[in-house]
Amino acid sequence: MRIKDIKLLWGRSGNRCAICKIELSPDGSAETIGEIAYIVSRTKEGPRGNDALPLAKRDDYSNLMLLCPNHHSEIDKLADSWPSSKLHQIKEDHEKWVSEQLEHGVLSFKPVDNSEYLEKIYDAWVSFSKSQIWVVASLTPLRVDDDSIDPLDDAIIETLNSIHLPGNGFRESYINKYDTRPDENGITNIRTKYLEKGDGHKILIFRNGHCEFLFCLEGSINSITEYAKNREPDKIGSSRIIKYTYLALVITKQLETLKIIWTKCLQFKNMTLTITILNTRNSMLYSRERDPRGALYGYPVQTDRLQYCFIVDRYSELDHLIDIILKRFVNYFGLVLHNILDHNGKFVRPEKL
Ligand SMILES: [Zn+2]
């Protein structure tokens, strides 16, 4: 789902269920939690899914409506009693009702908007990264309020301490729990003492529910860049090389981690997922270790950051998200998809490359 569609939906719905008009809370901390429902299901098999609407258009604003959990499950369980024509009419009437109420000052609501907060967070990452290439994955509540969670809760600390790191040479390692400590934002696990060798990470769970996993790619970049320059100096020039397999492994691990934190520690129904690679200017993506046609590189990136950001549902399938994100980054780096797809068009995961 696109961010502008979600904001539009919450705004035009006036923070209310389109059917019963109960007030909803996007942060999920209250009893009622707003849920974004599909008028026509995302899949052909789902409720009202057997429809002419193309699958690619099903995440659009025009196919979404905001409901309370009760009505969401009702329209999906009793799909025959809630055909899409009826739902479109309900949505239209509800939005009209909201705008009338707002005009008369009867209704007011806090807008759902975390974009200002995300800008601030981004500035903090930039200064933390000190011109090195880091990958950052984060989840942010749609409405950012302080004290959404207690970061010193035992369950949260335990979850944080159980995290695996994407180790070098694809070895897994747990984070060191002695690096876990409270700070001004919430609770963090940070290890930067090997940064001169290019290794470091920072994982943070904020009091407001925002969580982030920063991982330094420099160690891997240094060794692969050295290797590539020796082999193909003309092609590489002054660029720095990011290995696709390693990037894919790091992003996969980060997303698995965030999903665990979300499931175990946070109640939000929807959150903004952001994947950012910092300090990317003049870096290239190297797609495979060995390829019969020789090494495959993209083109040197001309911007300081590559970012992909969208809203996800807590029940979104992780594999599907990882596919979307990795494809997008391969595209950002100027590689074509056959570099990472097998002959069946299926995504090649890091362990198979
Ligand atoms: Zn309702």
Tens-digit pLDDT profile for residues 299-313: 899 999 999 988 888
Inside any domain, residue 134: yes
Do residues 286 and 176 share a domain?
yes
Q: What pLDDT sits at residue 207?
A: 93
Cα 271 to middle of ligand 1, angstroms: 21
Q: How confident is the model at residue 82 (pLDDT cuts 50, 70, 90)?
A: very high
Do residues 80 and 139 share a domain?
no
Taking 70 as the threshold, does the pLDDT of residue 172 lie above it? no
Cα 184 to middle of ligand 1, angstroms: 38
Do residues 221 and 263 share a domain?
yes
Cα 19 to middle of ligand 1, angstroms: 5
Cα 66 to middle of ligand 1, angstroms: 9
Do residues 191 and 239 share a domain?
yes
The secondary structure element, H or E, covering residue 215 is: strand 211-216
Cα 11 to middle of ligand 1, angstroms: 17
Match 């604003």 to its residue by tokens. 61
HSE-CB at 302 with a 13 A cutoff on CA atoms is: 2
Cα 35 to middle of ligand 1, angstroms: 10
Taking 50 as the threshold, does the pLDDT of residue 170 lie above it? no
Taking 60 as the threshold, does the pLDDT of residue 320 lie above it? yes
Cα 113 to middle of ligand 1, angstroms: 23
Inside any domain, residue 145: yes
Do residues 296 and 321 share a domain?
yes
Q: Total domain count for the chain? A: 2
Single-letter amino acid code for the residue at 237: G
Q: What is the mean pLDDT of residues 48-53?
A: 95
Phi, psi of 323 (to 5 degrees): -55, -50
Strands 240-243 and 283-286, sheet pairing: parallel
Bridge partners, 341 (sequence order): 347
Do residues 99 and 121 share a domain?
no
Domain hosting 81: range is 3-103
Q: What pLDDT sits at residue 60?
A: 93
Inside any domain, residue 108: no
The SS3 assignment for 294 reads: coil
Q: What is the pTM of this model?
A: 0.76
Cα 82 to middle of ligand 1, angstroms: 14
Do residues 184 and 325 share a domain?
yes
Do residues 122 and 215 share a domain?
yes
Cα 40 to middle of ligand 1, angstroms: 18
Bridge partners, 241 (sequence order): 284
Do residues 197 and 99 share a domain?
no
Cα 109 to middle of ligand 1, angstroms: 17
Bridge partners, 273 (sequence order): 139, 310
Inside any domain, residue 191: yes
Do residues 77 and 124 share a domain?
no
Inside any domain, residue 59: yes
Length of the chain: 353
Inside any domain, residue 15: yes
Cα 25 to middle of ligand 1, angstroms: 13
Do residues 119 and 56 share a domain?
no
Do residues 301 and 246 share a domain?
yes
Cα 317 to middle of ligand 1, angstroms: 26
Inside any domain, residue 109: no
Inside any domain, residue 99: yes
Cα 92 to middle of ligand 1, angstroms: 15
